[in-house]
């Protein structure tokens, strides 16, 4: 399902600082963060459908998504993981790209997609849910945001908890350096579940309760499901990007960091 917290264009050192948990079945084949062969895309890869949940490019484009919690999914739907890739491979602005998707978003199950271009300081949010309502295309304002499994900044318990803790950590570090690994440990491993009375009531109470923590672990008939990757992505004002991932591989937690400079990055 995934959850992300980020600060956008509101910190003197970091135009973007993003933390994201990826939730998925543990037995689904996945490749850890790396540069993809033949292109300038950096991110993890779903080895089944070939897409990604968060990736960036050498030119300073960033895209990530979460699923929308819904009772019925379409088995014939296109893979949502292709959407970030399409943006990263595109030359359209974030807004132009979002607008170009409107006519085909019905081909996908529920998603929240954020696409950004660091150089132009543009970030756009797109969602195809709730069904029957107008497609949401929204410029993301500078500041702190949380994206879970409803609309951007929806007041779900896990989103509110992560936002509160994220703000507290940012206030602690002020305008100085932010230790991303330490922040991930404090924020993204949180297993506290919500009160059942505060659950959204979309699916079964037990399933929603198991999904109500920031870090998820649950046994299902299809195998263990939960948080199997956490990413910390930072982009500095001088164009230096750092992509840190801690991930499960053969039931062992591993980590990897890739750093690079965004080409043609502007000064902030």
In a domain, 267, yes or no: no
Quote the tokens at residue 28. 């689904």
In a domain, 268, yes or no: no
- DSSP-derived secondary structure for 76-120: TPBPTTHHHHHHHH--S-HHHHHHHHGGGGGGB-SEEEEEEETTT
Quote the tokens at residue 183. 């922040």
Q: What pLDDT does residue 71 have?
A: 87
Cβ atoms of residues 125 and 140 within 8 Å: yes
Cβ atoms of residues 140 and 8 within 8 Å: yes
Q: What pLDDT does residue 266 have?
A: 43
Q: What pLDDT does residue 38 have?
A: 82
- Is the omega angle on the peptide bond into residue 46 within 30 degrees of 0, that is, cis? no
In a domain, 205, yes or no: yes
In a domain, 71, yes or no: yes
Per-residue model confidence as pLDDT tens for the chain (268 residues): 799 999 999 999 999 999 999 999 999 999 999 999 888 999 999 999 999 999 999 999 999 999 999 988 888 999 999 999 999 999 999 999 999 999 999 999 999 999 999 999 999 999 999 888 899 999 999 999 999 999 999 999 999 999 999 999 999 999 999 999 999 999 999 999 999 999 999 999 999 999 999 999 999 999 999 999 999 999 999 999 999 999 999 899 999 999 999 986 444 3
Cβ atoms of residues 160 and 147 within 8 Å: no
Predicted TM-score (pTM) of this structure: 0.95
Cβ atoms of residues 141 and 87 within 8 Å: no
- Main-chain phi, psi angles of 180, to 5 degrees: -65, -40
Reading phi first (left if > 0) and then psi (alpha if -120 to 50, else beta), residue 17 is in: beta
Q: What pLDDT does residue 267 have?
A: 40
Q: What pLDDT does residue 265 have?
A: 44
Nearest 5 degrees, angle CA 168-CA 175-CA 181?
60
- Full domain range(s) for residue 56: 2-261
C-alpha–C-alpha distance, residues 95 and 84, integer Å: 14
In a domain, 18, yes or no: yes
Q: How many domains does the chain contain in total?
A: 1
Residue 231 sits in a domain of what CATH number? 3.60.60.10
């Amino acid at each position: 399902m995934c959850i992300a917290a980020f600060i956008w264009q509101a910190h003197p050192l970091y135009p973007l600082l993003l933390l994201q948990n990826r939730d998925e079945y543990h037995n689904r084949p996945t490749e850890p963060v790396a540069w993809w062969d033949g292109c300038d895309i950096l991110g993890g890869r779903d080895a089944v459908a070939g897409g990604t949940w968060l990736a960036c490019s050498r030119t300073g484009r960033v895209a990530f998504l979460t699923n929308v919690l819904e009772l019925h999914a379409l088995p014939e739907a296109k893979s949502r993981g292709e959407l970030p890739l399409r943006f990263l491979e595109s030359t359209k602005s974030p807004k132009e790209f979002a607008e170009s998707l409107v006519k085909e978003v019905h081909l996908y199950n529920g998603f929240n997609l954020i696409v950004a271009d660091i150089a132009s300081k543009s970030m756009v949010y797109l969602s195809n849910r709730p069904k029957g309502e107008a497609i949401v295309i929204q410029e993301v304002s500078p500041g702190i945001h949380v994206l879970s499994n409803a609309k951007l900044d929806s007041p779900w318990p896990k989103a509110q908890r992560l936002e509160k803790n994220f703000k507290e950590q940012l206030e602690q570090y002020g305008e100085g350096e932010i230790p991303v690994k330490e922040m991930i440990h404090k924020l993204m491993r949180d297993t506290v579940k919500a009160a059942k009375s505060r659950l959204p009531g979309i699916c079964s109470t037990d399933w929603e309760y198991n999904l109500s923590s920031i870090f998820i672990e649950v046994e299902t008939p299809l195998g263990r499901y939960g948080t199997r990757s956490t990413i910390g992505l930072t982009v500095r004002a001088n164009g230096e990007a750092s992509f840190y991932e801690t991930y499960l591989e053969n039931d062992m937690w591993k980590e990897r960091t890739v750093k690079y400079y965004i080409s043609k990055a502007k000064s902030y």
